[in-house]
Chain A
Amino acid sequence: MKILVNFDLCKSNAVCMASAPEIFEVRDDGYLYILQEEPDETHRAAVEEAVRLCPTRAITIEDQAL
């Protein structure tokens, strides 16, 4: 899976960081950093939760065709 963040929508609420701290990090500069853009499947549940809980619905998962 590939993680896409629409940075025009993102308001750095950092909720994603609570769901998937190994993938998302909001730093002191106030911006969201994606720590792993293509994480392995073990992170799927956490990333899906981050997608659902993002207040600005800025995160999407892109699944590449096998």
Chain B
Amino acid sequence: MKKIVVVGASLAGLRCAEALRREGFTGALTIVGAEQHLPYDRPPLSKEFLSGEFDQERLALRTEPYEELNADLLLGQRAQSLSLEARSITLASGEEVDFDGLVIATGAAPRTLPIADGVSGVMTLRTLDDALRLKGALADRKRICVIGAGFIGSEVAATARGLGLDVTVLEAGDQPMLRGVGPIIGETLAELHRSNGVDLRTGVKIESLEQIGESVRVNIAEEASLECDLVLLAVGAAPVTQWLEGSGLALDDGVVCDATLLAAPGVVCAGDIARWPNPLFGGESMRVEHWTNAVEQGVHAARRLLSDDESAPAFSTVPFVWSEQYGIKIQAAGRFSGEDRMEVVHSGTDDARLVAIFERHGRISGVIGFSEPRRVMQYRRLIGAGTLFDEALAASL
């Protein structure tokens, strides 16, 4: 393999490129990124960067010199199409880039709602440019309305409260992340917002958004309308696969890969875009939008691309995610939903601490913890080991 192209210059793409060099790839390496910026870290965008605690320099994902990576960085260049026959990608500029090996790491982009079309006071948060714009807006506005109480919406709500803004969070479900975490944890998350002065409204249906001068009017079904200076739309993200349509790759909410992250001969995927069967969960097809997953898959994809071995190892992981809201560290690992059996296994005297575990098929499948990093990691290990749920319950970690 003489030339490898990595499409996507964020966490998964960069860590993959670094791993390719570490694993001994000495051929030509090109990294294509849609954004102008050098690879930067996204989790602080809704937290420390937005609050002003971190400056932009602190976000740099690579601290070693880029010269050592010996790669062509094509930044501000969006990939537009892929031809597997020609072994090349075409950029938005029309330029074609050939490859022997391809890494697809174009990530995900925020979902939007049709009601937000053309409303100038509505923002989303994914990129550094989004964060700079949002940060500027938070500095001179007083009232923000966040639509969606998932991780990004909740983190921005917490940061905005910290900056002294009036914050309203509108959530379609009856509780924050109800389908994801179930009623007990959902209620804990709701209480966290409310006790920090957020006007959290759940079970809300938004009918329309109107720009009226400098403010946005949020029209809610069966409730009074709400006026704010700024709306953050935080209703999840969708994988960036548009440029791969017609390429022959299987697309199904992500790029469908085999268990080794191979999507086609000489083509691997990493990060938010990769859908693969995870052997640790009975081969369940999953796509994981978490930070640690992007790093792990980037490294695995690099090794897979460099090995012609048919018996290359599968990528298996216990997905892990963390969030921080109002000074509380929220961590979760594994697979679970609000439908699964859940048991609270630990709650501290300080009621901000809590650990709950989830059951699927008789085994511990997931864990969520509030300010309990040690226990979350210990239960995560039990999940990876396929421990029976009853044994996990009895483990008293």
Residues of A within 8 A of B (CB): 11-15, 17-18, 21, 25-28, 30, 52-53, 55, 57
Contact = CB atoms under 8 A, between A and B. Distances in A.
B374 A15 contact: no
A19 B376 CA distance: 13
Interface stretch (B136-144, B176-184, B235-243, B290-298): B290-298
B106 interface: no
Q: Would you call the interface of chain B mostly helix, strand, loop, or mixed? A: helix
21 contacts: A11-B329, A12-B329, A12-B373, A13-B329, A13-B331, A14-B331, A14-B374, A15-B377, A17-B373, A17-B374, A17-B377, A18-B320, A18-B381, A26-B374, A28-B374, A30-B373, A52-B15, A52-B295, A53-B296, A55-B291, A55-B292
B351 to A, nearest CB: 16
Contacts, number: 43
Given A17-B374, A55-B291, A55-B322, 4 more contacts: A13-B322, A14-B373, A30-B373, A52-B299
B377 A18 contact: yes
Interface residues of B, number: 20
Given A13-B322, A15-B320, A18-B381, A53 B374 contact: no
Counting from the closest, the 3 A-B pairs by CB-CB distance are A14-B373, A14-B377, A26-B374
B43 interface: yes
Interface string B355-382: 0000000000000000101101100110
A26 B43 contact: no
Given A52-B15, A55-B43, A15 B292 contact: yes
Given A12-B329, A13-B331, A26 B295 contact: no
B324 to A, nearest CB: 8
A16 to B, nearest CB: 9
Contacts of A57: 63
Contact of A53 (B295, B376, B381): B295
